[in-house]
Structure 1
């Protein structure tokens, strides 16, 4: 097993398993986890023995809790640089040549949710919860804002983004977010079994299927999301939302 930043990278037969491993931070998208996701998926693509990748979270409580809010900087230039890097990481499963399975245990919020929906398949533990709560910080989800409506429909995407309420695994299945829901204790076992089924198919045909279905993803809408994020951070609502999160209190947004 290799340690890539804060991600454990292991290959079992022809399956690469990337385990986000900062459970004390609920596997938030720290610089170490962002580096590990990027390097792990690149390594899997370059390894001819690997046919499928699985991303999961250590600790049981969280797949990935999203951005590391404690490190947010209100400077627009720094915020834009951070967001460019984050969007590159969140879209990495989409851009990977080989199929990627998100094995979601516990919470997948914000960037963690976006990392999951960028994967080709999501297997959810019964305890899994999915959500884009950025609105509670005076912000909006970046990657999900250009992807979510294609999965759950425009109205539900608006509801999830504007209210910020999470959905459980059963609801996520009904919405078409996840491929299947499994008992918590079987999540990784079932994800590996699913990956083995994919790995048994013709390699080139599988990679071409992913490429064809993902055609048209990316482009200008991603650039709009990147450019919009620093603008939101400049607003007083974002400062209040982020400071309230850091201070562990309810935000008091301007009602006027």
Structure 2
């Protein structure tokens, strides 16, 4: 049986493609597979950056597979490690993830993109949170969206379920860059290669600091950082890579990051 997820590995980069015709919707089994892939990426010391995209040109992901739900998939069923789509609740994901949105991203598909660190979109991509129309709540988006864009805009999108395009998404800072569809994956790989050439221990520390500080007072967060109470920060401050960074600066050369 064909897997709904395909992967491509190049050096320290892993491309993960949701390939489940016709629309790349996610059922319970697909979500569990995605969780295993993202957890394996997280735990592989030789991988540094992931790209998440969808197969085809029309759909990135429309979210939850309503046909599978009608056939018995429970909305509160076992999504696997990392929750829906394997990413948005995955603990200790301290590596950069790029979402390359190649088409429609709505409902849980938009929530999945919001779980990435950087979002690139094809110029024809469209977005929506239409859960309101099916009598349910866009739970992850209700948590995340008001923290990413102005509150009143987030509430309008959540309460109306209306569609919006890349121009509006870019205007509100919901996505990073818009590219011609034919160039989207080239741009995603260029971004991934740039990140893969950087210091992985610093990336890990950045991601943990951002998560830890999200609901903390500024001084409390700073105290945890300076007292090395965050595991990634403590590891960074004791690492060969931090010494390498200082040496490379003094010697006027590019650093060679080893992730240790």
TM-score tier, shorter chain, comes to 0.7 to 0.9
Larger relative contact order (CA 8 Å, sep ≥ 6) = 1
Structure 1 pair 155–52 and aligned structure 2 pair: CA distance change class (3 A): same
1:205 aligns with 2:202: yes
How high is the TM-score relative to the length of structure 1?
A: 0.76
Equivalent residue number for residue 114 of structure 1: 111
Q: Secondary structure at the match of 2:51?
A: strand
Aligned-residue CA RMSD (Å)? 2.6
CA contact (8 A) 1:87 1:143 kept: no
Quote how far apart the aligned CAs of 1:72 are.
Answer: 2.5
Correspondence for 1:49 among 46, 51, 64? 46
Equivalent residue number for residue 91 of structure 1: 88
1:63 aligns with 2:60: yes
Q: Secondary structure at the match of 1:143?
A: helix
Correspondence for 2:128 among 115, 126, 131? 131
Equivalent residue number for residue 233 of structure 1: none
What runs of 5+ residues in structure 2 fail to find an aligned partner? 216-260
Higher helix share: 1
Measure the CA separation in 1 of the matches of 2:71 and 2:27.
17
Measure the CA separation in 1 of the matches of 2:14 and 2:99.
12
Computing the radius of gyration over CA atoms, which structure comes out larger, 1 or 2? Answer: 2
Residue-pair matches, total: 214
Quote how far apart the aligned CAs of 1:108 are.
Answer: 0.5
Measure the CA separation in 1 of the matches of 2:179 and 2:103.
12
Measure the CA separation in 2 of the matches of 1:33 and 1:81.
12
Q: Secondary structure at the match of 2:94?
A: coil
Measure the CA separation in 1 of the matches of 2:137 and 2:90.
21
Equivalent residue number for residue 33 of structure 1: 30
**After superposition, where does 1:135-146 map in structure 2 within 5 Å?**
135-146=132-143
What runs of 5+ residues in structure 1 fail to find an aligned partner? 219-256
